[in-house]
């Protein structure tokens, strides 16, 4: 791992509480999380009290907090996995790390506990290289460098805005793949991280993610909701939609996105065949969405993440809104999100 200096006061760990009993989850993560500030957002659809063990610096936000801050903005829904975006909204830290509550720390090939915070921060603090692919993965990691033929003019890299981690055990497959291969588990730990090239789209999974909030915070939002959205990852596409938006925005602003380590261990949860009935709508929508994101271009006047989201929302409404009303609703939510981000950002900390 590259030399990383972590200022604990620059990091928020955001957890979407889909399960009420967070004690096993929190205790597993205690060695990694205990020195950082945590934001836990309770799924507003969940009844019952959250169970959180002692010994953590944590702020918990519930439905009443969401209603107070969001007010009458009805196009943005913070239910299910989307409740984590409320944590992104109210944070005041430079870096945000978000882990799903069905994950526990992974172990690397030496059997050592993976420190997701240290590795995500290392990914974000080291430059990214989106404009020319380095075949030896991340050239800034210890023991690596730029390979022969890599242009010296590009070796300083650009700011890395987004770090997308991976998963051992239950990988983030869609419902059709998991249903077809119910026994398949990911046991391959690949000790590598790489920059995703410019103009290459990717499915950004919200399960294990970190980003520079100051640079791209407004570009991660809950916008596209399936009609039959459920409480399992393979019953949603909110993170996939947001991820394609943020990748296009990073490309436009000259920022980098990395994929690879750190890993988490993802526990068994849900029934893929049951979920297939709900997610199939999302699987089909992707065929419409990908060509749009491959061709969309943002104007040079868009120089901040907020500008880019507003412009992207216009294009979504114009080009995809007529395909399915779901996209028009997503465009409305994106516009409202930017307004909400600005209003919360101008209020006093700890809204």
Write the pLDDT tens digit of every residue in 193-221: 999 999 999 999 999 999 999 999 999 99
306 domain residue, yes or no: yes
Q: What range does the domain containing 332 cover?
A: 101-346
Of 333, 209, 336, 207, nearest in space to 269 by CA: 207
34 phi, psi to nearest 5 deg: -60, -25
329 lies in a domain?
yes
> 142: helix, coil or strand?
coil
DSSP per-residue codes, 55-106: S-EEEEE-HHHHHHHHTT-TT----GGGGHHHHHHH--SSEEEEE-TTEEE-
Q: What is the pLDDT of residue 73?
A: 62
Q: Is residue 339 part of a domain?
A: yes
In a domain, 193, yes or no: yes
Which is it for strands 37-42 and 57-61: parallel, antiparallel or unpaired? Answer: parallel
CA distance 219 to 222: 10
Q: Does a structural domain hold residue 26?
A: no
Q: How many helices (H) and strands (E) does the chain have?
A: 10, 9
pTM above 0.85, yes or no: yes
Instruction: Average pLDDT across each block of 10 residues of the chain; the chain has 351 residues. List them in order.
Output: 72 95 96 96 92 96 94 80 94 97 95 96 97 94 94 97 95 81 91 96 94 97 72 71 96 98 87 64 78 96 97 96 89 94 76 53
Each residue of 60-84: pLDDT tens digit?
A: 999 999 999 998 666 888 988 899 9
Residue 167 lies in a domain: yes
Q: Are strands 256-266 and 103-105 parallel, antiparallel or unpaired?
A: antiparallel
Does residue 87 lie within any of the structural domains? no
Residue 77 counted as domain residue = no
Count of domains for the chain: 1
């Amino acid at each position: 791992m590259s030399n990383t200096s972590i200022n604990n006061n620059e990091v928020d760990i955001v957890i979407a509480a889909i399960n009420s009993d967070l004690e096993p989850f929190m205790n597993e993560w205690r060695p990694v999380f205990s020195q950082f500030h945590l934001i836990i957002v309770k799924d507003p659809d969940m009844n019952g009290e959250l169970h959180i063990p002692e010994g953590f610096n944590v702020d918990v936000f519930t439905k009443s907090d969401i209603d107070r801050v969001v007010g009458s903005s009805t196009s943005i829904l913070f239910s299910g996995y989307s409740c984590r975006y409320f944590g992104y909204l109210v944070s005041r830290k430079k870096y945000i790390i978000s882990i799903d509550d069905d994950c526990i720390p992974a172990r690397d090939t030496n059997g050592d506990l993976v420190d997701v915070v240290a590795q995500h921060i290392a990914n974000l603090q080291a430059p990214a290289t989106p404009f020319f692919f380095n075949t030896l993965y991340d050239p800034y990691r210890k023991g690596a460098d730029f390979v022969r033929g890599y242009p010296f003019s590009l070796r300083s890299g650009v700011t890395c805005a987004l770090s997308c981690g991976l998963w051992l055990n239950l990988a983030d497959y869609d419902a059709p793949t998991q249903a077809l291969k119910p026994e398949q588990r990911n046991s391959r730990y690949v000790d590598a991280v790489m920059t995703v090239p410019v103009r290459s789209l990717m499915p950004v999974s919200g399960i294990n993610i970190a980003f520079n909030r100051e640079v791209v915070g407004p570009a991660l939002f809950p916008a596209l909701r399936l009609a039959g959205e459920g409480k399992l990852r393979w019953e949603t596409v909110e993170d996939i939609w947001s991820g394609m938006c943020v990748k296009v925005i990073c490309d436009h602003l000259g920022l980098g996105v990395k994929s690879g380590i750190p890993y988490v261990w993802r526990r068994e949860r849900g029934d893929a065949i049951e979920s297939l009935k709900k997610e199939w709508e999302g699987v089909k929508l992707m065929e419409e969405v990908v060509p749009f994101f491959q061709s969309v271009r943002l104007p040079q006047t868009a120089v901040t993440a907020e500008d880019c989201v507003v412009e992207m929302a216009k294009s979504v409404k114009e080009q995809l809104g007529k395909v399915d009303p779901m996209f028009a609703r997503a465009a409305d939510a994106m516009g409202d999100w930017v307004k909400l981000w600005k209003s919360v950002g101008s209020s006093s900390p700890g809204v």
